[in-house]
Amino acid sequence: MTTAVVVLAAGKGTRMHSRLPKVLHQAGGRSMLASVLKAAGDSGVAGQNTAVVAGYGIEAIRAALAGSEVEIVLQEPQLGTGHAVLCAQSWWKRHPQVIVVHGDMPLLSAATIGGLARARSESGAAAVLATAAPAEPRAYGRIVRDRERPERVLRIVEEKQATAEQLKIRELNAGFYCFETAALAEALAQLGTDNPHGEYYLTDTIALLAPRGVVAYPLEDDRECLGVNDRAELAELDSDLRRRKVAALLKAGVSVQLPDTVVVDPEVEVGEDTVIESGVQLLGATRIGAGCRIRAHSVVESASVEDGAIIGPFARLREGAVIGAGAHIGNFVEVKKSRIGKGSKANHLAYIGDAVVGERANIGAGTITCNYDGVHKHSTVIGDGAFIGSNSTLVAPVEIGAGAYVGAGSVITEEVPGDALGLGRARQAVKPGWAAARRQTVKRK
């Protein structure tokens, strides 16, 4: 059985006070929309086809999804969740069942999506809906069950329309459903707008479908249906997701100091026995090997660090940096799009960009690769065992041979062959007694 997945994402998210549509805001290193789409992708739902219903900021959503196979359906104007699903009808009705989820619930799991699809196809019910009974109150729709046969769901009552009695119901509508498409199409056609917002509520389809069977699917983790309405809630879910990622690393044999200060993006991989000190950020497609130490306040973005390397404190590795096994990149060293060979060291205050550094080389404090001429980027090659004296300026394209030395303070514009000494600085002059003589002249005046 093929299954359509529809993600509702047309709302503006007024309380975000943002030009960006709400679902494109990031939590845990991914947009909320990307998290929901990933859960759908990972759910293992067979023959799955996904569409996003967008309205506010649809251009930004198109740009964010460029290159993916996800269909984007316009909902304009936004007349409610039922209307949103209706807008995508020509797209989902080709499938026997459709999953509907909200794009602003980034904790939604793949297991829940898969579970809803299976529960629907196995039960033959017209609808299966996820429910939650969190300890804290939430302004969600209340699930009204049949008193005589409590396994049957009769309807969902939105908080604003609920009676005092219904408000006491602790079972809430999570906002994730799986519908049989033929039944859903019929129910949507009957929806009205008799409610305080004058909207078409998807939740009103439940009462219409109840005679054909509606089954509740209680969530194991009620946080899965935590939505985001403002930036405070976004920050809360962001820390939740960050904590989960760090917890996964801890479980996999990585030590993390002060875990709440560490930010690790979802795709990052870290090997066993690596220690991550406080305040570190590991971002993008970063890979850290085993037995490394990423010292305090280093930022690593889409870079690769091989086994046993030591990074930081206060180092910055940018996209395309590859740090070889056992290498040391120290404080205030920035490395971009460069390979640093095994056991090489750049311990203090350097910029290494578009460079290939061999093994066991020593890059002195203050070394700068001048990789940019204002128009193009050029590369610097530093051979095995080379020694670059402090405060050297290597004007690319340039090559320093294996075992060569560069004298401190040099500006190197030409190749330094292997085992040579390259010196490019003014010769020092010493004038004995000059300072004492000056002091005498100053006193006389």
User: Cα–Cα distance between 36 and 175 in angstroms, integer?
Assistant: 13
Q: How many residues at the interface with ligand UD1, by CB under 6 A?
A: 26
Question: Of 3, 4, 5, 11, which lies in the binding site for ligand UD1, with binding defined by CB under 6 A?
Answer: 11
Minimum CB separation of residue 100 from Ca ion in Å reads 14
Q: For the chain, what is the radius of gyration of the CA atoms?
A: 30
Using CB under 5 A as the binding rule, whether residue 330 contacts Ca ion is answered as: no
Minimum CB separation of residue 100 from ligand UD1 in Å reads 9
CA distances from 223 to 92, 160, 219, 233, 241 (A): 28, 22, 9, 12, 11
Using CB under 6 A as the binding rule, whether residue 173 contacts ligand UD1 is answered as: yes
Q: Which stretch binds ligand UD1 (CB under 6 A): 97-105, 230-238, 296-304, 386-394?
A: 97-105
Using CB under 6 A as the binding rule, whether residue 289 contacts ligand UD1 is answered as: no
User: Cα–Cα distance between 162 and 81 in angstroms, integer?
Assistant: 18
Comparison of 114 and 227: residue with beta carbon closer to ligand UD1: 227
What residues pair up with 172 in beta bridges, in sequence order?
Answer: 132, 142
User: Cα–Cα distance between 65 and 7 in angstroms, integer?
Assistant: 13
Contact code string over 114-153 relative to ligand UD1, x by CB under 6 A: --------------------------xx------------
Comparison of 156 and 352: residue with beta carbon closer to ligand UD1: 156
201 is in the binding site of which of ligand UD1, Ca ion, none (Cβ under 5 to 8 A by kind)? ligand UD1
Using CB under 6 A as the binding rule, whether residue 61 contacts ligand UD1 is answered as: no
Using CB under 6 A as the binding rule, whether residue 28 contacts ligand UD1 is answered as: no
User: Cα–Cα distance between 301 and 336 in angstroms, integer?
Assistant: 10
Neighbours of 19 (CB within 10 A): 8
Question: Crossing angle for the helix pair 110-123 and 32-42, nearest 10 degrees?
Answer: 50
Using CB under 6 A as the binding rule, whether residue 34 contacts ligand UD1 is answered as: no
Minimum CB separation of residue 186 from ligand UD1 in Å reads 18
DSSP E strands, 32-122: 49-54, 71-74, 97-102
Residue 328 and residue 314 in contact, taking contact as beta carbons nearer than 8 Å: no
Minimum CB separation of residue 22 from Ca ion in Å reads 9
Q: Which stretch binds ligand UD1 (CB under 6 A): 197-205, 358-366, 372-380, 382-390?
A: 197-205
User: Cα–Cα distance between 131 and 134 in angstroms, integer?
Assistant: 10
Q: Which among 95, 297, 348, 378 is annotated as catalytic?
A: 348
Minimum CB separation of residue 358 from ligand UD1 in Å reads 53
What residues pair up with 142 in beta bridges, in sequence order?
Answer: 157, 172
Question: Of 115, 175, 358, 366, which lies in the binding site for ligand UD1, with binding defined by CB under 6 A?
Answer: 175
Q: Which of 203, 220, 224 is nearest to 144 (CA)?
A: 203
Question: Of 3, 48, 81, 362, which lies in the binding site for ligand UD1, with binding defined by CB under 6 A?
Answer: 81
Q: Which residues contact 129 (CB under 8 A, 6 or more apart)?
A: 143, 153, 156, 173, 174, 176, 177, 178, 206, 214, 215, 216, 217
Instruction: Tell me the pairing of strands 153-157 and 142-145.
Output: antiparallel
User: Cα–Cα distance between 139 and 134 in angstroms, integer?
Assistant: 11
Q: Is 348 a catalytic residue?
A: yes
Q: Which of 387, 376, 308 is nearest to 346 (CA)?
A: 387
Question: Of 9, 88, 129, 317, which lies in the binding site for ligand UD1, with binding defined by CB under 6 A?
Answer: 9
Using CB under 5 A as the binding rule, whether residue 141 contacts Ca ion is answered as: no
Using CB under 6 A as the binding rule, whether residue 50 contacts ligand UD1 is answered as: no
Using CB under 5 A as the binding rule, whether residue 80 contacts Ca ion is answered as: no
Question: Of 27, 84, 128, 280, which lies in the binding site for ligand UD1, with binding defined by CB under 6 A?
Answer: 84
Task: State the DSSP H helix or E strand holding residue 376, giving kind and residue range, or none if neither.
Answer: none
CA 336 to chain centre: 21
Question: Of 55, 227, 271, 383, which lies in the binding site for Ca ion, with binding defined by CB under 5 A?
Answer: 227
Minimum CB separation of residue 234 from ligand UD1 in Å reads 13
Q: Which of residues 200-239 bind ligand UD1 (CB under 6 A)?
A: 201-203, 227
User: Cα–Cα distance between 71 and 332 in angstroms, integer?
Assistant: 45
Neighbours of 79 (CB within 10 A): 19
Q: Which residues bind ligand UD1 (CB under 6 A)?
A: 8-11, 53, 75, 78-81, 83-84, 102-104, 140-141, 156, 158, 172-173, 175, 201-203, 227
Interface ranges with Ca ion (CB under 5 A): 227
> So which residues are the catalytic ones?
348
